[in-house]
Amino acid sequence: MPLRDAHQGRRCITPSFWVRLTRIRRIHEGEVAWKALQDASMAWQLASGLYTKAEVEAMRTPGGFIVSWMTGPRQLVDAFCVEVASTVVGCIQLWRRGDGVGVLEFLFVMPPHQKKGYGRQLVREAIAAARSAGIETVEVYAMDREPEACAFWTHLLGTANKRGVATILGQRLPARGWRLATADIVP
């Protein structure tokens, strides 16, 4: 059951306890820390058995990982990372599709730092950025084969209300999605 504002029924992503973060900041794709997080994410996906080596390599190749929710024109609006003791341990991206809908992508927190509220903090920052950019609706998707990601988003946002498909190496993989008005998400 997602956390909800008791008075208005809006989805609330504020943690029930405060997590001391060293810093959340913008991150740029060219940064060394960005590449390190991408590498760590891919290594984790391979080590966890969620994806094969060929699938992980395809994800790194332009056009090798095609998702139904990010077709057509799109623009990276912002990207954020969380630093703990000056080490980048997680990140998230906010994209805007051609239809004006914001899409949260590439939420990743290094395994030793998971379940400490960092993912929630990154989502809060991305939602604030969406509002600042005039984005009224956001979507997020999790691959069905990634049960921890599905559980995270379900806990945070409630029941999925969208479906999507990712294509890797010609194989269609189902994904569940959440579409919400940014005004309905309590910071």
pLDDT at 5 over 90: no
pLDDT at 15 over 90: no
Q: Which fold has domain 21-186?
A: Aminopeptidase (3.40.630)
Highest mean pLDDT among 6-15, 144-153, 177-186 belongs to: 144-153
pLDDT in tens, 133-151: 999 999 999 999 999 999 9
Closest of 138, 154, 134 to residue 146, by C-alpha: 154
pLDDT in tens, 43-73: 888 898 989 999 998 988 888 889 999 988 9
- What pLDDT was estimated at residue 13? 54
Section 122-138 average pLDDT: 97
Of 26-40, 66-80, 131-145, the least confident: 26-40
Give me the long-range contacts of 106-111 (CB less than 8 A, separation at least 24): 106/41, 107/140, 107/149, 108/37, 108/40, 108/41, 108/44, 109/82, 110/37, 110/40, 111/44
pTM: predicted TM-score of the whole model, two decimal places: 0.84
